[in-house]
Structure 1
Amino acid sequence: MLENKNILLAVSGGIAAYKACALTSKLTQQGANVKVMMTTSATEFVSPLTFQALSRNPVYTDTFDEKDATKIAHIDIADWADIIVIAPATANIIGKLANGIADDMVSTTLLATKATKYVAPAMNVNMYDHPAVIRNMKQLDSWGYHFIEPGAGYLACGWIGKGRLEEPESIIKAILKHQSKSELLAGKKVLISAGPTQEKIDPVRFFTNRSTGKMGFSLAEAAVDMGAEVTLVTGPVSLELSNDRVKRINITSADEMYDVMHEQFKTHDIVIKSAAVADYRPKVTYAEKMKKNDGPLYLEMERTKDILKSLGLQKENQFLVGFAAETSNPLEYGMKKLENKNLDAVVINNVAVEGAGFGGDTNIATYVHKSHKQKEIQLATKYEVAQKVLTYIASDMKDES
């Protein structure tokens, strides 16, 4: 989501300035165009040359150093930026911004920009708790600055407490999460199925599978963060939603999921079936617990209803997406599912590959549109994979409209 974004990193004078070096590198690795500006105090901790090498762009340190006579530097760079990240943000720079003081390159640029601004504070724990600093942060928050709270731990000053600059990975994660709330799916109603189903044998036994629902829950959370109205139909899982804006419907069996998905289908714009629904169930279920015998046990199984295929047959204007979890020839079987079930897209993954199986927090996948256009999703958290899948869906829907 940061690819080709113009990101201006503002570094102010604190010992945590060394972390801004890693942040510059990681933002560049995300595909962003990164430029750095520094306060005079920041240059006492890290050389501008370091940031120039990492960003592959000139570093701005002086308001009066006009590198191009045809432009006013701090206005030009203020207009260039899509996103500005202040890291570390000292009590001093926070105070300047909250009170409209513009006396150096960083403060003048920040007062002149209309870019989205993220503030990552770093300071002594007592400074962070000072009423003046709290007041200044509240003022910036009311003006639309987005704060990335510092971590707690051992500080360079010797104190232990809150005030340590968040790690570069956490800063990027916070930015990505906020950027994903860009209303990409605003006005859309999204229906998602998740988790396994349980097919009853007797009062104490059932058939099920290894699905934990993590991918479906991540899709639901990401879709809400992107502005959608979300309904999640889930089999029996131990997960809880962190966002109360998701409407959750709990089911147990494949039949129950079939009924609920069909009830909800017509009122939704995007339907994603990530649930691992049982393909078979016992033909006979027993009211009493089955007793063990000396010999083998034989159970006759029957097919469950194919939820995805039946939705594909009823599809009108819905964008229908299936998941294909395979262990061999994943692309071949995934493409067959795309065609045979009248899908608009399919998300294919090989659950036998490390990092992509059931129960983990990561996934690897291939998103394939019905036009056979493919997007490879490398190893990432399931939430990040969900963001990419939903972004591809939104893009494909826009192209089709």
Structure 2
Amino acid sequence: MDLKDSRIVLGVSGGIAAFRALDLCSLLQKQGATIRVVMTAHAQKFIAPLSFETLTQHPVYTDLFDRAHAFEMEHISWSKWGQLLLIAPATANILAKMAMGIADDALSTLYLSFSGPVVVAPAMNTQMLLHPATQHNLEVLRKRGVAIIEPVEGRLACGDVGPGKLPSPEEIVAFLTNYQPHHDERNIVSTQHSAAGSHSQQSGEHSVGQTSSQPPDTSLAGKTVVITSGPTHEYLDPVRFITNPSSGKMGAALAREAARRGAKVHLVSGPVSPAFLPHECATIHKVTTAEQMLHAVQRLAAEADIFVFAAAVSDYRVAERTPQKIKRSGNSLVLHLIENPDIAQAIGCHKKPWQITVGFAAETEEMEANALAKMAKKHLDAIVANDVADPRIGFDRDENEVTIYLRTGERRFVSRRPKSEIAKEIFDAILDLVAVTPTRTTQPED
């Protein structure tokens, strides 16, 4: 989305992150956007409307029954003025109101009257975020075409460490810059269908937030694809963790390619920038640790036809995480590490005859030998190997160079190119496997 000369209505709801909306407002204005702000009553407990009025040079909409602007119904006039409604932070309360269609204050009423694209950035305590009610409300909003900027992991105002933190203003602006709103966003019934319908309209260079420029097809119609993506974080103490440089760009490219081919896509992602999550075409399952990722994949296993294990999962975690920050002592520190579960192996060794599993092998030496050994050990149908010692490709890069090994003995080298094109080559190989794999004979298990 081009932010220059855009008209954005910024909704601010009542969480501790409300004060960060000032920086967000300022940054959006620096990108050339004109901002009007609407605040809930609880948001005004954290920050005064005057701050936004000074910054935007526009009055802040706070009260349905304010008579200061006689004969003007702001929730109607503002909804006609705005090209985008951005709610940041979005509390559990406002998300619930939006999902249920409750209109009892300025922000919730404006949402119901707003016909353009809507983006929300949830921010709340981890347990509130993970509560089934909140997750249900987020899923309802996704199906209506509301774009969700996933909260990030970090230390929260309550002192807990976990997902629920509002992304930085820079991350939110990056998301909006890559965001491609559909023509009639609010009338979308399914994010899967909306993604397929929009692919043929995309062209030009790829960015992380864009869909594939290839025309849609139906080669994976009726299939469910589960993709793992990004790194995992294995905490030593409340503030330190073991991880790797994975950005989630490859997983996002795979999700978009699977959706372009008509598949229903689930992306199980470790902690990555919200800008790298393909909300427009996949259901996102956000996790932090390897064990959480395994459990998420296992919950989806019964309905899956194809698994692509693209995540860079930490091989080890500490045996015992300390509840307090580890302090310097002047001495060396010895950590007792234990192996994490191997997600690809756990699924591959127990898959159904009609299920296809594809792994990734990030190697620094003896790439082919190591990749083939992993494919056999994990009962994979294919494995995608790349040399992560090459600084031009791999982790946190926009390009990659891979070799795809198939269970049939075939070997396909894919030269250096954008990850979106790598994803296309991988799914071309997967389709060849689909052709020689038995079809599903039973319904998904409950």
| Of 281, 305, 309, the match for 2:341 | 305
What displacement does 1:257 show? Answer: 0.6
C-alpha change, 1:286 and 1:334, in structure 2 (3 Å) is same
Provide the residue aligned with 1:265 in structure 2: 301
Provide the residue aligned with 1:91 in structure 2: none
Q: Distance in 2 between matches of 1:201 and 1:351?
A: 25
What displacement does 1:313 show? Answer: 1.4
C-alpha change, 1:298 and 1:221, in structure 2 (3 Å) is same
What displacement does 1:176 show? Answer: 7.5
Q: Distance in 2 between matches of 1:148 and 1:259?
A: 35
What displacement does 1:360 show? Answer: 0.3
What displacement does 1:352 show? Answer: 1.4
Q: Quick check: which has more Rg, 1 or 2?
A: 1
TM-score by length of 1: 0.56
The 3-state SS of whatever aligns with 1:289 is coil
What displacement does 1:264 show? Answer: 0.8
TM-score by length of 2: 0.50
Q: Distance in 1 between matches of 2:274 and 2:310?
A: 15
C-alpha change, 1:176 and 1:218, in structure 2 (3 Å) is closer
Q: Distance in 1 between matches of 2:390 and 2:237?
A: 34
Amino acid at match of 2:314: A
C-alpha change, 1:242 and 1:338, in structure 2 (3 Å) is closer
Is structure 2 residue 425 aligned with structure 1 residue 382?
Answer: no
Alignment deviations for residues 300-357 of structure 1 (CA, whole Å, 9 cap, x no partner): 1111111111111111121000000001111110000011110011001111124322
Alignment deviations for residues 14-51 of structure 1 (CA, whole Å, 9 cap, x no partner): xxxxxxxxxxxxxxxxxxxxxxxxxxxxxxxxxxxxxx
Is structure 2 residue 328 aligned with structure 1 residue 292?
Answer: yes
The 3-state SS of whatever aligns with 2:403 is strand
Q: Is the 8 A contact 2:252 2:278 kept in 1?
A: no
Q: Distance in 1 between matches of 2:326 and 2:212?
A: 52
The 3-state SS of whatever aligns with 1:177 is coil
What displacement does 1:175 show? Answer: 12
Count of aligned pairs between the two proteins:
234
Provide the residue aligned with 1:235 in structure 2: 270
Amino acid at match of 2:292: E
Is structure 2 residue 429 aligned with structure 1 residue 392?
Answer: yes
C-alpha change, 1:147 and 1:256, in structure 2 (3 Å) is closer
Q: Is the 8 A contact 2:224 2:306 kept in 1?
A: yes
Q: Distance in 2 between matches of 1:176 and 1:247?
A: 17
| Of 221, 226, 247, the match for 2:283 | 247
Q: Is the 8 A contact 1:213 1:239 kept in 2?
A: no
Gaps of 5+ in 2: 1-199, 439-446
What displacement does 1:187 show? Answer: 1.1
Amino acid at match of 1:237: V
Amino acid at match of 1:391: D
Gaps of 5+ in 1: 1-145, 150-165
Amino acid at match of 1:278: S
Provide the residue aligned with 1:194 in structure 2: 229
Q: Is the 8 A contact 1:326 1:349 kept in 2?
A: yes
C-alpha change, 1:203 and 1:395, in structure 2 (3 Å) is same
| Of 239, 242, 250, the match for 1:204 | 239
Provide the residue aligned with 1:315 in structure 2: 351
Q: Is the 8 A contact 1:192 1:232 kept in 2?
A: yes
Q: Distance in 2 between matches of 1:212 and 1:269?
A: 25
The 3-state SS of whatever aligns with 1:384 is helix
Q: Is the 8 A contact 1:221 1:243 kept in 2?
A: no
| Of 195, 216, 219, the match for 2:254 | 219
Q: Distance in 1 between matches of 2:211 and 2:223?
A: 23
What displacement does 1:147 show? Answer: 7.0
Provide the residue aligned with 2:401 in structure 1: 364
What displacement does 1:242 show? Answer: 4.5
Q: Identity of paired residues, percent?
A: 35
Q: Distance in 2 between matches of 1:340 and 1:357?
A: 24
